[in-house]
Amino acid sequence: MLSAQTTDEGVNKVTPRLFKEYPDEKSLAQGKQEDLEEIIQTIGIYKNKSSNIIKISNVIVDVYHGMVPRTYDELIKLNGVGRKTANVVLSVGFGEQRIAIATHVFRVSNRIGLVDEKNVLATEKNDGSNPS
């Protein structure tokens, strides 16, 4: 969620302090938006991100009993989690074979012939059985 509209370098600068002050979902759920904003203000759309982080943390604590949802459909219901973030969580967090399709992945996949699709969503849904 933090990486939207910013660089990995920017995210890597704010996460040490964020994780030190908020080491788990319970502390984030109880956090104040203004405090999170102050920590992540150097990255893009930090007000929305801080709001969504608190909302998601509360859902994870209250609905999922402290566990990150393990299905795509559950993940995309969370505030601020879209298709790309859900696929990253499933791939990196849970070891599923998923690819987060961003614009550059869409373009390269089509350019090198992995797929022949007209948009990012079609590229994501392509299972490889119909390459170009």
Q: Is residue 104 part of a domain?
A: no
Q: Is residue 114 part of a domain?
A: no
For residue range 56-93, list pLDDT tens digits in order. 999 999 999 999 999 999 999 999 899 989 999 999 99
Q: Is residue 95 part of a domain?
A: no
pTM above 0.85, yes or no: no
Q: Is residue 121 part of a domain?
A: no
In the predicted model, residues of the chain with pLDDT beneath 70 are: 128-132
Rounded distance between C-alpha atoms, residue 24 and residue 45, angstroms: 22
In SS3 terms, the chain reads as CCCCCCCHHHHHHHHHHHHHHCCCHHHHHCCCHHHHHHHHCCCCCHHHHHHHHHHHHHHHHHCCCCCCCCCHHHHCCCCCCCHHHHHHHHHHHCCCCCCCCCHHHHHHHHHCCCCCCCCHHHHHHCCCCCCC
Q: Is 95 left (phi over 0), alpha (psi -120 to 50) or beta?
A: left
Residue 31 sits in a domain whose CATH number is: 1.10.340.30
Predicted pLDDT of residue 24:
96
Domain membership of residue 46 as a residue range:
8-67
Q: Which long-range contacts (CB under 8 A, 24 or more apart) does 117-124 make?
A: 121/83, 124/83, 124/87, 124/99
Q: Is residue 56 part of a domain?
A: yes
Predicted pLDDT of residue 131:
54
**How many residues make up the chain in this entry?**
132
Q: Is residue 19 part of a domain?
A: yes
Q: Is residue 110 part of a domain?
A: no
Q: How far are the Cα atoms of 27, 56, 72, 102, 123 from residue 88, in angstroms, in the given order?
A: 23, 16, 10, 11, 16
Q: Is residue 38 part of a domain?
A: yes
Predicted pLDDT of residue 56:
97
What's the number of domains the chain is made of? Answer: 1
